[in-house]
Every structure is written in C-alpha cells, then in structure tokens.
Chains A and B, each alone.
Chain A
Amino acid sequence: MRHIISILLENEPGALARVVGLFAQRSYNIETLTVAPTEDPTLSRMTITTVGSERVIEQITKQLNKLIEVVKLVDLSEGAHVERELMLIKVKATGAQRAEIKRTADIFRGQIVDVTATVYTIQLTGESSKLDAFIQAIGPNCVLETVRTGVSGIARGEKTLTL
C-alpha cells in the first residue's frame, strides 16, 4: 500500500543524505520526496511517499526514527489528511486543440502560466491522482514536458507535527 510519511528533520548538512541512504541501503522504495526548511530554520519538513507491505512500512518508520537527525515522524496515511502535489506541464497547443486544452485546464482548476504561439505551460495542484488524470484527459501525445514536486501532506484537524 502507498504511505505518506511526514518527517521533521534537523536542518543540517548530511541529514537528507542519511534519509535517502537508508532507503537505498535497505532497498525500500521512494516514490516521491519533498523537503524544505520550516518557519523554524533549524528544522526541515520532509514528505516521502513509499509503497510496501505493513511489515516494510513499520520497518521504514522505525529505521527513520533511529536516525539521530529525525526529530519526529508521522505516517499521514494512518489518519485523515490533505495531500497536494504541484505540476508544471508544457503541452503542444495548436489549432483546435488550443481551446480544448484551455477548457480541460479550467475543469481541473489549472492555470496557464506561460503561453507561446504553439505551447501552453500549465500549473496544476492536487492529489497525485488528479495530476495523472489531467495528463490522461489532454492526451499524453501532446505533452512536451512535465515537472512534478512530489507530494506534500498535512494531517486534518487539530493534529500537528511540531516540536
């Protein structure tokens, strides 16, 4: 099953390498990874999506917790949560397709952020599955380039992952 693991990490050189190294070393899989400093500059917030059996996910969280720089960690998929990914996608937009792509982007609440005579660059946010669906909807053939940030997630309600 797919899990979203959210981590508060010391914002120190080498900390990211330890997390990534752990996944490689123990042959766990990383689907997406995002990381950036938080409002407290000594901490980074990292979100990792991974797939594995319950036993593997349990090991992943335990092994991550063992890393000295990992301050706190939560498996967001265990409770209600919001997840978002941002995609910038460059598509061929000529002739009749131009209007069609614009319409589809609107339906998916995408924004066209750059335009040329033949190309649209569209920005889209949502769950990863929505971004996949958008690519399907406009037809993969007209896609020139995509760039996705990977998933960021946060728990719903009062729960927070803070110090």
Chain B
Amino acid sequence: MELLSGGEMLIRSLHEEGVEYVYGYPGGSLLHVYDALYRQDSVKHVLVRHEQAAAHMADGYARATGKAGVVMVTSGPGATNTITGIATAFTDSIPMVVISGQVMSYLVGDDAFQETDMMGISRPVVKHSFSVKNPQDIPEIVRKAFYIAQSGRPGPVVIDIPKDMTIPSERFEYSYPKKVKIRSYNPPQKGHSGQIRKAVELLLAAKRPIIYAGGGVILGKASEQLRQLARLLNYPVTNTLMGLGSYPATDRQHLGMLGMHGTYEANMVMHHSDLVLCVGARFDDRVTNNTSKFCPDAKIVHIDIDPSSIAKTVSVDVPIVGPVDSVLDEMLEMIAEIGDKPDQQALESWWSQIEEWRKRHGMRYEKRDDGLLKPQEAIEGLYEATKGDAFITSDVGQHQMFAAQYYKFDKPNRWINSGGLGTMGFGLPAAMGIKMNFPDDMVVCVTGEGSIQMNIQELSTCLQYGIAVKIFCLNNGYLGMVRQWQDMNYEGRHSSSYMDSLPDWIKLVEAYGHVGINVKDKSELKGALDDCFGKYKDRLVFVNVAVDPEEHVYPMQVPTGSMRDMWLSKTERT
C-alpha cells in the first residue's frame, strides 16, 4: 500500500472526489498542505485576494454545477474571513467543503498564534464539521464531508486540520474509502406514497391551483419533472428568487417571481388560490408576507427533502418529505394511473382571471426621455445582448431585484444570487468561480456601485487566471435598496445611503489590467454590450451603467399585509 503524509492524503482525496479547482489562500498552518499541492498537478489552486472571495467562488461553482466547491484557508484570520461565505452557502443550501488549517493540536486551547475556534465559530452556519485528530482519518473524513455536503439538503461542511496532522515526514498507509456509511445520517430517498396519493387527489380536485417552486427544484435537479407536471395539468407556476430558472420564464404558464418583489399576477394568484403545491421552497418571510393572512382559501401541499422546512412558518395540509425529483416522478405516474383530469371548466375560468391580472399590471415602468437609463431597461438590454443565455450572478440590492424580474431565465443553474443571506460582495467572486469552470459561456455579474466594492480586490485574481467575466454595474450612486426603504418609511431621510467619492471606475479596472466602458446615455448601451461580448470577448469588462438614482423596485408587498397587498408604483396600491 502507498504511504502518504496527511497533507498528501488530503490532496489525493480531493482528487478522488473529482475536484479540479480549490479556491484558497495559504498561511502558516497549511504550509505542509500547500507544499503537497505544489508537488502534484491534478488539483489546481486558485489564489484569491481575500478568503471571503474563495468561499463565494466555490459557491458560484457549486450553484452552477450542483457539485461541492472546495475552499482552503489558513487558521485564525484566514478561517474567520470565510465565515460570511460559508453562511451565504448555508442559508441557500449550497454544497461546499471548507478546509481550514489549525494550530498544532498540542497548542489548541493555549491561545496560540493564529488560533481561533473555527469549529465553534462556524458551527451555526455549517451542515456539519470535522476536526482531524489522526492523519490516517483524513481520507475517510474527506469522503464523509463530500457525502454530507452533497446529499439530502446540501450545505457547507468544514474540515479543521491541525498542522501536525499534515507533517511531510509522517507517512501512513493510504486508501480512499469507496463507500461511506454514517449510521446517524440517512437522507430520505423517496417520498411516502400514501402522502403523494393524497397530494395528487388534491391536485386533481383543485379549481384555482398554483405551483410555487423554489431553489430545491434546482438543487434536486427536478426542473424537467416540474415542467412535465405543470404542462400535463396546465397549472400556473411561480418561482421564488432562488427557484428562478427551474421553470422556463418565457413559458406562458410562468407567472414570474412571487413575494416581496414578485409580480402582481403571481401574488394575486397565490392569494386567491384554492391549492398551493409548494415544491422545494420554504415559505420564507420574503415570500409569505404576513403568515396569518397567507393564502386564506388554499390547501397546501409541501414537498421538501428537509422535514424541518415543512410546517415551520405555515401549516401544511399534505407534507411530503423526499427528494423533489423522485416525488414528482411518482406524482406523474400516479396521475397517469388514475387517468383523471382536472376540472377543465374551472381551470379555464382560472386562466382567464389570471390573464386579466396579467394585463392589469405586467412589469410596467416608465422610461425617461432625457437619455438616462432606467435600471429595468439596462437589464432588458443585457437580456437581449446575451439572448437570455448567460450565467447571471448578482450582488444584493435593487439591481438584484431588477435582474430577477427582467432577465428571463429559461434554464436552471443560470441565476446565481445570495437569496437567503443577502450578501453584498457575492456577485463577482461567484461569477469567477463559474467562468473558470465554464470558460466558453457568458458569465455576467450584475452589481451596484456599493456591492462591487465589497470584493473589488478580486479584479487582480481575474487577471492572474484570465477570468473574463463581465461586470454590469447599475450605478445609481446610492445604496439604492436602503434608499428605497428610507424613501418609503423614513420620509426620504437618506441616512448613510449615499456614497460620496466613488472611484473613477474606468481607471480602477484599467489599473487592474482590464477594460472599462462607461454608459452615460441610453444610446450607448447596445454598443457597449456588443463590445463587451464581441471585441472584448476574452477580457474582463466592467460596464459602468448610469441609471436613474430615484427608481424604486415594484411591485413591493405592503408590510404585515397579505400576498395581494402591494405597492405597484410610488403612488399606486392594490
């Protein structure tokens, strides 16, 4: 049998898991591991400029592929710098394996140089964590970490490795476990057939149904089943922010996003429905508005792989715990077997009601005639320029909501945003993680002048590795989303939501070796985007788009109201 050091075992184990890239930053406690990395070439390391970005890069890769992204950081500040990134992944159930160095095991507890209790600090934001006690355990721990991160409801897993577990001269017999069994961890493989039958009966009996599909459909790779079910029944579909792309946005049956900034029609349909089929979503407060007024006439069927998501905020009539793909498959079979169809007459009048709601508002906004772009217009321009086929990452703020509302995602895994934690600074590194793994695809980070500065240092990483992402910055000169709330709830007192002294973006990106384009007037947008994806196809391009600073995101649900209580513009309320 082969003899390897702990550091070598770690890298070899990553290779066995099919890992191509590791995103990280070295330091004292991981030097043995970095030396092991150097002496092989199957696992490549990407050196970021700040550890938070390493986590977001791994996260972006994971969201685009469904596979765990890998992060490697040193102890102390290296580890703590990843926490925001780990929490971001945790909140959105993204598979990730984070390897953090630790001081020598015999120094743990002595407040040694660069010691922090990473197990403790990360505990509330990981699915699980391991601390290595013997070098021989490393292969099995890595195997378990990937298994846990990627199965069931996915999530980040931390492996904390004291430096003395990786000493080059201490070698051990190496073999990689083929199988893992964790007696206390058995994610559900299948839904309960009796429950599924009950759900199907409710579905077929519904007169005003709606399918509410979330990020779980994407994580559970069930978009095809969702499409089949919706088509078969001719039921309307709405998506959460995390679920966008799980059902084709350009399809007639798609009502757009629901919730706080959801479409008028999606929220109206939810409120008036008599049956909600929730697939892989979690009745989050940004969706339900006031739960006591939520969908007053609806029976609720909820499919989720995580039982703790069910009946957490809203009571459910038929809970189904299981992987969404297999549950939907079983539903489709049962419907075929029963041979019944939903009440066509009821459905017809439901659809005509829906079409009326669609007509009432749509996603209307007023364009300006002085040449200044509306942010919505800019996103529509981006949609056309990329033919709706790009990977779009976003940061957090108004630009994020405009991207979600106006970029029509027809495929899953293409809309990449921090929906749960709302992490400004996520967009650029996430885009980088995707571009490295999909070099031939268009990858665009939609951002704001506030958010982009939270990880702007990564422009340097992009040059080092030739990562040609596009940064589409909707520059409104404000922390726009904060400003919007201040306009609406604080009589326009813009407390610290205006940033003075912004950099000259063109000079900034040029200093980092990239291309910058200003779009000051509507007429310049198309040309800029053509250059971005044409002339500068292989370069990182920062498009600085001046947009209306006063614009608000609408619709917007009225706090403490029901789903249907919305502002539709600055002056119009339902």
- Whether, in the assembled complex, B124 has its beta carbon less than 8 Å from a beta carbon of chain A, the answer is yes
Question: Which residues in A have their C-beta under 8 angstroms from that of B308?
Answer: 59, 62-63, 65-66
Contacts of A163 in B (CB 8 A): 183
B345 at the interface (CB under 8 A from A): no
Q: Is there a chain B Cβ closer than 8 Å to A58's Cβ?
A: yes
Known: A18-B123, A70-B184, A163-B183. A55 touches B128 (CB 8 A): no
Do B185 and A68 touch across chains, with their CB atoms under 8 A apart?
yes
State the interface size on chain A (CB cutoff 8 A). 20
| Chain A residues, CB < 8 A from B183 | 71, 163
On whether the beta carbons of A69 and B184 are closer than 8 Å, the reply is yes
In Å, the complex CA distance between A17 and B124 comes to: 11
Bound complex: CA of A58 vs CA of B306, how far in Å?
A: 13
A69 to B144, CA, bound (A): 13
Within the complex, what minimum Cβ distance (angstroms) separates B460 from chain A? Answer: 36
- What is the CB-to-nearest-CB distance from B176 to chain A, in angstroms, rounded to a whole number? 21
A13 at the interface (CB under 8 A from B): yes
Task: Report the Cα distance A91→B182, complex, angstroms.
Answer: 49
Given known pairs A10-B184, A13-B131, A17-B120, the reply for A68 and B148 (CB within 8 Å) is yes
State whether the Cβ of B119 lies closer than 8 Å to any Cβ in chain A.
yes
Tell me the bound Cα distance from A59 to B148 in angstroms: 21
Query: Please, which residues of chain A bring their CB within 8 A of the CB of B148?
Result: 68
CB-nearest residue of chain A relative to B306?
A66
B112 within 8 A of partner (CB): no
Given contacts A17-B120, A17-B123, A25-B124, contact A71 B184 (CB under 8 A): yes
B26: A residues at CB distance < 8 A: none
What residues of chain B lie closer than 8 Å to A55, measured between beta carbons? 311
Closest residue to A72 on the B side, CB-wise? B184
Is residue B570 contacting chain A, with contact meaning CB distance below 8 A? no
In contact, B131 and A14 (Cβ under 8 angstroms): yes
Interface centre among A18, A63, A66, A72 (most CB of B within 10 A): A66
For window 78-128 of A, CB contacts with B under 8 Å fall at none
Q: How many residues of B contact A (CB 8 A)?
A: 18
User: Given contacts A70-B184, A163-B183, is CB(A21)–CB(B124) below 8 Å?
Assistant: yes
Q: Is the CB of B307 within 8 A of A21?
A: no
B359 is an interface residue with CB less than 8 A from chain A:
no
Residue on B with the closest CB to A71? B184
Question: Shortest Cβ distance from B315 into chain A, in angstroms?
Answer: 8
B312 beta carbon closer than 8 Å to chain A: yes
List residues 84-130 of chain B with CB under 8 A from any CB of chain A: 119-120, 123-124, 127-129
Nearest to B310 among chain A residues (CB) is A62
- Give the complex CA separation of A14 and B128 in angstroms: 11
Q: Which parts of B160-205 form the interface with A (CB within 8 Å)?
A: 182-185
Q: How far is B308's CA from A58's CA once the two chains are assembled, in angstroms?
A: 8
Contact A65 B131, CB 8 Å, known A14-B119, A71-B183: no
Please name all residues of chain B whose beta carbon is closer than 8 Å to the beta carbon of A66 when the two chains form the complex.
Answer: 306, 308
Contact: A21 with B123, CB < 8 Å?
A: yes
How distant is B98 from chain A, measured CB to nearest CB, in Å?
16
Which residue on A lies nearest to B185, using beta carbons? A68
Residue with the highest number of chain A CB atoms closer than 10 Å, among B123, B128, B129, B184:
B184
**Bound: A65/B188 CA distance, A:** 13
Cα A71 to Cα B306 in complex, Å, equals: 16
B106 to chain A, nearest CB (A): 16
Closest partner residue, chain B, to A9 (CB atom): B184
The 8 A CB mask of A14-38 against B (1 = contact, 0 = none) is 1001100100010000000000000
Using CB atoms, name the residue of chain A closest to B157: A68
Contacts of A70 in B (CB 8 A): 184
A68 to B152, CA, bound (A): 12
Across-interface contacts of A13 in B (CB, < 8 A):
131
Assembled-state Cα–Cα distance A21/B124 (Å): 7
> A122-163 CB contact bits vs B (8 Å, 1 = yes)?
000000000000000000000000000000000000000001
Q: Which residue of B lies closest to A60 (CB)?
A: B308
- The answer for the CA separation of A163 and B184 in the assembled complex, in Å, is 10
Q: Is the CB of A68 within 8 A of B128?
A: yes
Give the distance in Å from the alpha carbon of A70 to the alpha carbon of B119 in the complex. Answer: 18
Which residues in window 19-78 of B have CB below 8 A to A?
none
Structural contact, B182 and A68, CB atoms closer than 8 A: yes
A contacts, CB < 8 Å to B:
10, 13-14, 17-18, 21, 25, 55, 58-59, 62-63, 65-66, 68-72, 163
What are 16 residue pairs bridging A and B, where the CB atoms are less than 8 Å apart in the complex? A10-B184, A14-B129, A14-B131, A17-B123, A18-B123, A21-B124, A25-B124, A58-B311, A59-B308, A62-B307, A66-B306, A66-B308, A68-B127, A68-B128, A68-B148, A68-B184
5 new A-B pairs (CB below 8 Å) besides A59-B308, A65-B307? A58-B311, A63-B308, A66-B308, A68-B148, A71-B184
